[in-house]
Amino acid sequence: MIEALQFEFIQHALIAGILVSFAAGIIGSLIVVNRMVFLAGGIAHASYGGIGLAVFFGLPIFLGASLFAVGAALLIASLTLRKRHRIDTFIGLIWAVGMAIGVIFIDLTPGYNVDMMSYLFGSILAVSTEDLYFMGVLLAVILFVMTFWYRDILAVSYDSEYAALRGVHVRFFYTLILILAALTVVVSIKVVGLILVIAMLTIPVYIAEKLSHSLFSMMFLSGLIATLFTLVGLWFSYTYNLTSGASIILISAASLGLFLLLYKGK
């Protein structure tokens, strides 16, 4: 394992794993406490449409996927604020239509032969330096938003009706959380793929929630736990020559099972 660290792609994989784990830990906490898990799943799958478009027009994949995911997030935000009771229908719709757009545009791309499976299940061993910059900038933005607006985001997440009464712009923060979630989903695609991203956003958070007394500690702990799972998952996938994204998720799920057994025993 140690000799593997001299390879650049392994170094990139480790850095990407840590950056994305912390972004996923923080944003995953917000998604879980705001009950937006299904919503994040919709955005993740819809972003496949952006990947298809980017491939067709020859744009960078991250750019296409980000724009498309943010677009889906804005659409969902405006729909949620207007027709709350029908939101699950709209999410399902955006989920499927986004994927369909992606599939069709990849069909239309002449002579295209790159393995699309890597977007569905992750390709952490193929992280480029530009990818790392993108991940680093996103984590910095998330950290900035969370330190600057922690109180408002806490108030909106805990009791949005009361927050509105005290003059917090609920709509703005709700949309902001969704946009950050969309971008986090996009960077997580590199690590675990868009199908598995939901597990990365929820499993560490679920464990952290049980152990935390505040939203801040939940976010921090989620980041640490996600990092641990990612690194162990990577080691597992390297040692047994298995798909990295799926390894990370299964390591997370097994740990969650173990945690619940021990926690219940307390």
Partner 1 sequence: MSVIDIENLSFSYDRDAILENINLHVEDLDFLAIIGPNGGGKSTLLKLILGMNKCKKGTIKVFRKAPEKNLSLIGYVPQNTNVNTDFPIKVIEVVLMGHVGAKNPLFGYGKDEIACAMGALAQVGMQEFAQSKIGSLSGGQRQRVMIARALCAHPKILILDEPTSSIDIKGQKEIYELLKLLNQSITIIVVSHDISVILEYANKAAHINKRLSYHDISDKKKTFHTHNEGEHFCEVELLQMLGSEGCNTCDHEGHKEDTKWREAK
Distance (Å, whole) CA 48 – CA 186: 9
- 209 contributes a contact to partner 1 by CB under 8 A: yes
Cα 56 to Cα 42, 51, 126, 199: the distances in Å are: 22, 9, 21, 29
Rounded least distance, CB 262 to partner 1, Å? 19
- 127 contributes a contact to partner 1 by CB under 8 A: no
> Which residue, 3 or 35, has its beta carbon nearer to partner 1?
35
Q: How many CB atoms lie within 10 A of CB 194?
A: 29
Tell me the HSE value of 21 on the side-chain side, using a 13 A CA sphere.
Answer: 28
Which residues in the 18-77 window bind partner 1 by CB under 8 A?
33
| Residue span 80-119 as binding mask against partner 1, x where in contact by CB under 8 A, dash where not | ----------------------------------------
Rounded least distance, CB 157 to partner 1, Å? 8
- 158 contributes a contact to partner 1 by CB under 8 A: yes
Which part of the chain contacts partner 1 (CB under 8 A), choosing from 48-56, 150-158, 186-194, 240-248? 150-158
- 164 contributes a contact to partner 1 by CB under 8 A: yes
Region of 184 please: left (phi>0), alpha (psi -120 to 50) or beta: alpha
- 141 contributes a contact to partner 1 by CB under 8 A: no
> Which residue, 90 or 220, has its beta carbon nearer to partner 1?
220
Rounded least distance, CB 180 to partner 1, Å? 19
- 176 contributes a contact to partner 1 by CB under 8 A: no
Distance (Å, whole) CA 152 – CA 33: 14
What DSSP designation does 214 have?
Answer: S
Q: How many CB atoms lie within 10 A of CB 73?
A: 27
Which part of the chain contacts partner 1 (CB under 8 A), choosing from 82-90, 113-121, 196-204, 205-213? 205-213
Rounded least distance, CB 265 to partner 1, Å? 20
User: H/E element holding 200?
Assistant: helix 197-211
Distance (Å, whole) CA 200 – CA 253: 10
Asked whether the beta carbons of 204 and 229 are under 8 A apart, the reply is: yes
Largest CA distance in the chain: 59
Distance (Å, whole) CA 148 – CA 226: 24
Q: Which of 23, 26, 185, 218 binds partner 1 (CB under 8 A)?
A: 218
Which part of the chain contacts partner 1 (CB under 8 A), choosing from 126-134, 171-179, 213-221, 237-245? 213-221
Residues that bind partner 1 (CB under 8 A): 33, 147-148, 150-152, 154-155, 157-159, 161-168, 209, 212-215, 217-218
